[in-house]
Every structure is written in C-alpha cells, then in structure tokens.
Structure 1
Amino acid sequence: MSTMTSHEKIAKVESSPIGRKVAYWTVTVILAFSIALSGIGQLMRYGGNIDLVAGIGFPLYITNILGAWKLLGVIAIVIPGFPRLKEWAYSGIFFLMTGAALSHAFANDYGNGGFHMILPLFYAALGIASWALRPKSRRL
C-alpha cells in the first residue's frame, strides 16, 4: 500500500517531464477546443450566442469581435514558437472569460445554476492551468 499523500502524488507527476507534458497538452487541448468552438459559434451567431449577448445588453456586432479574438488566441497558444504572443493570448483569454462572467453577474443573468458564470470561470481556470504547465520552449 502506498504511503504517499495525494499532494505528494501530484508533485511527483508535476516533477516528471512526461507527466507535466501530458497534463499541459490535456488541459491545453480542452481549452483550445472549447474556446475555438465558442469563437466559431459567435462568428456564425449559432445557437444561443445571440440570446446571451443581447440578454446582457451588448450589441450583436460584439460576437464578430469576440469570435475573431478567440480563434486568434487559440492559434497563438497552440502553434509552436512566439512565446510573447502566447503570453498575450493567455492573458486575453483570462480577461475575456472573467469579463464574460462579470458581465453576466452585473446584468443579473446567471443562467441555470449559475452556468453563465461558472463556464467562463472554468475556461479562465483552464487558461491559468495551461499557462502554468507550459513547457520551457513555450515560455519567455
């Protein structure tokens, strides 16, 4: 029976180059896929995107701006090289997602079970995790 605590097990995975790389790519792929789908949905004004934006009082053209920035941010994070651009993309995703959560909160549009706040904050947390786990080759 292992006597390692869960904290020690996590530290062991993080210190392992392979474990850290797997964790980075797992988190980053989930983040990139989610943000890309969101951006495409906004550019196409698909599904509930129009209701979400109009419901908090934003003009519909904001979907074009947000959708384009999301896709550009995903590309910047996923492609190799350009570490400074990656820093900007990570910060952009963080501000975009926390801004979305706050916009919904200020408009009293929490969604079912707070979904309109929980989802963007989850994406912000994924962005922080991806940034923290990124390999040295993707850092400044």
Structure 2
Amino acid sequence: MTRTHQHSADEESAAVTRSGRTWSRIRPIAFWVTTFVVVFELIAGSVWNLLTIEWVEVQLHHLGYPHFFAYVLGAWQAGAAVAIIVPRLPLLKEWAYVGAFFLWSGAVVSHLSVGDGLQSWGVPLMFGAFAIASWVLRPADRRLPETRLRRNRSAGAGQDEAGSPEIRSRAWEIRPRAWVVPIGLLVVLYAVSFLTLPVMEDVMREQAVKLGWINE
C-alpha cells in the first residue's frame, strides 16, 4: 500500500516537473511573439498617426476626436514601442504597457459608443489582449526590481549574490548587443511600416468605404 502511494506520488511529481520544464520553454517564445505584435502595431500606429493618413483622419472624424489627437497618439505610441522592446527601464515599461492598454481599450469603447460593430472594435480588442499577455509573460529582468528581489529571497537565502538572476540580467543588459538587437528591430519595423504605407493606405481606404466612413 505504501509502495503504491509512493509510486503514485513520484509519478505526479515527475509530471509536474515535466510540465514546468515545458512551460519554461514555451513562456519566452510566447512572450516575444506577443511583444513583437504589440511593438509592431505601436510602430505602425505611430507612423499612420504622425503622417495622419486618410484612414486616421476619417476615423477620428467618425469617432468625434479632434485632428491634433493623431499627433498625440503617434508620439506616445513611438515612445511606448521603444520602452517595451529595449532592455532595462522596468518602470517605463510598466507605464508603456498601461498606456498601450488604455489606447486599445479606449478605441474599443469609442467604437462601441458610436454603435460600430465587431469589425471596428475587434482589432483593438485583440491588440489589447496581446498587450496584457506580453505584460503577464514578461521575464524577471523586465519587471520592477522590488518584484525580482522578493522572488529571489523566496528562492533561497543561501544563493550567491554575484550569481543571482538579477545580477546576471544586469550584466547582460549593459552589453552593447543587448541594446543593438532591439534598436535594430525597431529600425527594421519602422522601415517596413514606411515601405508598406502606400499599400496599407489603399487597403484602409477600401475598409473605410465599406464601413461607410467615406462616400465615393
């Protein structure tokens, strides 16, 4: 009876360990996928708003916002994209995530308030969900220091301070490559946003016509 109970407990423990290992491999992938989507949308949105393409103008008019609101959104979207993708700056990251959530949740509420359907508010709702997922999945080195310190204490008081995850992450963050990669990604995403802008303008114009925001 005791052997059976012990065997069952060992199997349960092994299953939990395997599940934890699988999640530890999936989590960083899920984080970077959701973060890429969030950052790319913020960058594309900043380009569209700062250049104030026709789609932005007709949408602002449809929702009842002033024209200058596009420039405010565009500037903050650019800043949020940088804060989220680069290493360090955990407090700015928190504000950037909050701003992104307010941006897309506000878009959902704005479209609902004027009676728009799912085709209008479904997209910002999706991006808001991606922002929440990215925030939840962010690794320890992208969280506020207080959170990381509490986690490290609970992991064990005997851990060598020089070898702690917090110290190792800080050492990585001061290396040039830690900054070159995200900055290079930002440059590429901005280039893609600018190069695809003519095509996207035509696509979004067709969408505006379909929604009745533009009369041909």
TM-score (normalizing by structure 2): 0.56
Q: Is 1:127 aligned to 2:131, yes or no? A: yes
Listed one character per residue, the Cα deviations across residues 52-98 of structure 1 (whole Å, up to 9, x for unaligned) are 11111111110000111111111110010010110010011001110
Distance 1:51 1:138 in 2: 37
The structure in which a higher percent of residues are helix is 2
Q: Which residue of 2 aligns with 1:105?
A: 112
Mapped contact 1:100–1:120 kept (Cα < 8 A): yes
Distance 1:75 1:84 in 2: 13
- 1:139 is aligned, of 140, 143, 148, to 143
Q: Which residue of 2 aligns with 1:116?
A: 120
- Decide whether aligned partners of structure 1 residues 109 and 26 sit closer, same or farther in structure 2, where only a CA change above 3 A counts: same
Give 1 or 2 for the bigger CA radius of gyration.
2
Distance 2:42 2:123 in 1: 11
* Higher RCO (C-alpha under 8 Å, 6+ residues apart): 1
- 1:15 is aligned, of 4, 23, 26, to 23
Listed one character per residue, the Cα deviations across residues 85-125 of structure 1 (whole Å, up to 9, x for unaligned) are 10010011001110111011112233xxx222111111110
- 1:74 is aligned, of 65, 81, 106, to 81
Deviation above 4 Å: which 4+ runs of structure 1? 11-14
Q: Which residue of 1 aligns with 2:43?
A: 36
Q: How many residues align?
A: 127
- Equivalent position SS for 1:137: helix
Distance 2:89 2:22 in 1: 24
Distance 2:46 2:121 in 1: 17
Distance 2:42 2:79 in 1: 10
Aligned residue identity for 2:102: F
Distance 2:22 2:109 in 1: 32
- 1:54 is aligned, of 51, 61, 80, to 61
Aligned residue identity for 2:23: S
- Decide whether aligned partners of structure 1 residues 105 and 13 sit closer, same or farther in structure 2, where only a CA change above 3 A counts: farther
TM-score (normalizing by structure 1): 0.84
Distance 2:23 2:126 in 1: 25
Distance 1:37 1:98 in 2: 18
Distance 1:47 1:23 in 2: 34
Cα RMSD (Å) of the superposition? 1.7
- Decide whether aligned partners of structure 1 residues 14 and 79 sit closer, same or farther in structure 2, where only a CA change above 3 A counts: farther
Aligned residue identity for 2:119: F
